[in-house]
Amino acid sequence: MPNARKLARICKVLSVETRLRIVLMLIDGALCVNAIAGRLHVTPAAVSQHLRILRDAELVTASKRGYYVHYTVNETTLARWKKLIGEILDTGGRRGGGSLTAPTTRPYHSIHRQSHYKKAT
């Protein structure tokens, strides 16, 4: 059963068009920041910020080659994400809800209410 938290993370990472375009470029092969920036017509600083998010999500890996760092797609993570997304799409059309599992945490309102009403000491 897909985990809702994992699926939300995938959607968040890929929800920005520039990041999605970077991933699609890197599927074809390794590129450095400047090459990506040139193809996307954005600044290298913007590309670096997007790559940091993709690295944190373990979707992209970096390897130093001389003076440059080249980025590639992590095929293992990509395959795992593809499987999770496929599971949600396969269960999404069923009547009565899918089979997403929710994390077992306290509801937001109970956490929010507690911090909101603390007395100053």
Q: What does the pLDDT read at residue 20?
A: 94
Separation between Cα atoms, residue 70 and residue 34, nearest integer Å: 10
Alpha helix segments (H runs only) across the chain: 4-14, 17-27, 33-40, 44-56, 75-92, 108-116
> Which residues, given as ranges, of the chain have pLDDT below 50?
1, 95-96, 98, 102, 106, 108-121
Q: Please, is 97 exposed, middle or buried when counting C-beta atoms within 10 Å of its C-beta (0-12, 13-18, 19+)? A: exposed
CATH of 4-92 among 1.10.10.10, 3.40.190.10, 2.40.30.10, 3.30.700.30: 1.10.10.10
pLDDT on residue 94? 55
pTM: 0.70
**Angle at which helices 33-40 and 17-27 pack, to 10 degrees?**
120
Q: Are 63 and 103 in contact (CB under 8 A)?
A: no
Nearest partner of 22 among 3, 6, 41, judged by Cα: 41
- The pLDDT value recorded for residue 11 is 87
In this prediction, residue 84 carries a pLDDT of 85
User: Which amino acid belongs to residue 77?
Assistant: T
